[in-house]
Amino acid sequence: MIYLSVDDSQDTYELIKNSDLIISFGTSLEIYAAFLNKKVISFLKSFYSKFNFIWHPKNEKILRKFIYGSSKINLNKNRTLNLYKIAFYLMTFGINFKNYKPISFSKGYLKQVRIDHYGFFSLLMNFIYRRIK
C-alpha cells in the first residue's frame, strides 16, 4: 500500500497503471483509474458519484469483501460513456465562456489575467512558502 500526499513527487499515473486497487477521497484521479478498469473505492461522494462508475462502500463488511474478494462489483453498464461525459465536463466545465478559460474548479483566466477563488493574499502566501521551502 502506498499513500500519496498532495506534495508527493511520484508519478501518480504510472502508479495507478501498476495498481490493482485505488482508494481515494474524491480526487479526479478516480476517473483516470476507472477508465483503466481498476477497482476504485471512494470514501467521498463527488458530483460524478451519480454516474456509478466508482464504488462507495456502505459499511466495513462490504468494504472488506470488495478489497479482498476477486469478484468485480457490478457498476453501471454505460461506464465508459459516463467516463467520457465526466472527462469532457472537466475539460470544458460545461460552458463555453467568451472571456473566461477555466483551468480547474478554482482557477482560470479572465481575459489574460489569472484568477482563483483564494484571492491575491493566498497566492502571495503560497509564493512566499515555496521560496522558503
Domain-wise residue ranges, the chain: 1-92, 93-133
Separation between Cα atoms, residue 31 and residue 8, nearest integer Å: 19
Dump pLDDT digits (tens) for 22-44. 888 877 788 888 888 888 888 88
pLDDT value at residue 122: 67
Separation between Cα atoms, residue 94 and residue 100, nearest integer Å: 13
Evaluated on CA atoms 55, 61, 64, 70, the torsion sign reads negative
pTM: 0.57
Residue 8 has pLDDT above 80, yes or no: no
Q: Does residue 78 or residue 112 have the better pLDDT?
A: 112
Dump pLDDT digits (tens) for 53-99. 777 888 888 888 888 876 555 555 677 788 888 877 777 777 778 88
